[in-house]
Amino acid sequence: MDLGSYSHKRPLSYFIKRGLWALFQLPFIGGTPKQLSFLRVGLLRLFGARIASGCLICGGVRVWEPWNLEMGVRSVFGTGAEIYNLAKITIGSNAVISQGAYLCSASHDYTDRSFPLFSKPISIGDGAWVASKAFIGPGVSIGEGTVIGACSVVTKDMPAWMVCAGNPCRPLKPRLMQNKSSNARNI
């Protein structure tokens, strides 16, 4: 590798926008109550995120580029989720990104001597659940209703309505839904 030739060229306007976004991070600090979600949602929208109604964004969530984020109705980012969205990340309606999950839309081309950065969009389907500390890599699509198990490493698309887990993540079994709401805990 020749890191001396590495270049991450961006226009000055990009760095100004990122700098302004950094100034508004206080409500995102870990340990802030989930009741401040409305403020986090408002700030993300102010910086260009397209967030539908009823979304919950817990404390400690880190969003790199709000203008590259889209969230459907009633979606959730759990405490400490990291959204490294140098490319667009789309979260469907009623989807949950649990605590400590990492959605990573960018990486480096390790086959190129100058180690350039590249980015590819990520899509999480309606009703999907990305469990705690799972990693979702650049260019991945998670199907509608899919469950990604805790600590899974997802580098390829996962099909709809499947329970998937592992490193590397792979489909394990169909996700079958039952109506057990009478036993559900009200959170």
pLDDT at 11 over 90: no
Tens-digit pLDDT profile for residues 49-76: 999 999 999 999 999 999 999 999 999 9
Determine, yes or no, domain membership for 169.
yes
- Separation of alpha carbons 53 and 38, rounded Å: 10
Question: pTM, whole model, 2 decimals?
Answer: 0.90
Q: Which amino acid is residue 158, in one-letter code?
A: M
The sign of the torsion formed by the CA atoms of 183, 32, 125, 147 equals: negative
Instruction: Find the domain containing 51 and state its range.
Output: 21-174
Determine, yes or no, domain membership for 148.
yes
Q: Indicate if 8 belongs to the active site.
A: no
pLDDT at 182 over 60: no
Determine, yes or no, domain membership for 181.
no
pLDDT at 86 over 90: yes
Question: What pLDDT band is residue 23 in, cutting at 50, 70 and 90?
Answer: confident
Determine, yes or no, domain membership for 182.
no
Determine, yes or no, domain membership for 6.
no
Determine, yes or no, domain membership for 12.
no
Residues 18, 108, 113, 170: which is the catalytic one? 108
Long-range contacts from 138-145, C-beta under 8 angstroms, 24+ separation:
138/87, 138/104, 138/105, 138/106, 138/107, 139/105, 144/92, 145/175, 145/177
pLDDT at 13 over 90: no
Domains of the chain: total: 1
Mean of the pLDDT values across residues 11-39? Answer: 86
Q: How many CB atoms lie within 10 A of CB 181?
A: 7
Question: What pLDDT band is residue 125 in, cutting at 50, 70 and 90?
Answer: very high
Mean of the pLDDT values across residues 13-21? Answer: 88
More confident residue, 67 or 19: 67
pLDDT at 159 over 60: yes
Predicted local confidence at residue 5, as pLDDT: 73
Mean pLDDT of the chain: 92
Determine, yes or no, domain membership for 105.
yes
- Separation of alpha carbons 89 and 105, rounded Å: 7
Which CATH number characterizes residue 147's domain?
A: 2.160.10.10
Mean of the pLDDT values across residues 110-129? Answer: 94
* DSSP 3-state of 80: coil
The pLDDT > 90 percentage for the chain reads 71
Helices then strands, counting H and E runs in the chain, come out as 2, 19
Predicted local confidence at residue 172, as pLDDT: 98
Q: Which amino acid is residue 187, in one-letter code?
A: I
Determine, yes or no, domain membership for 114.
yes
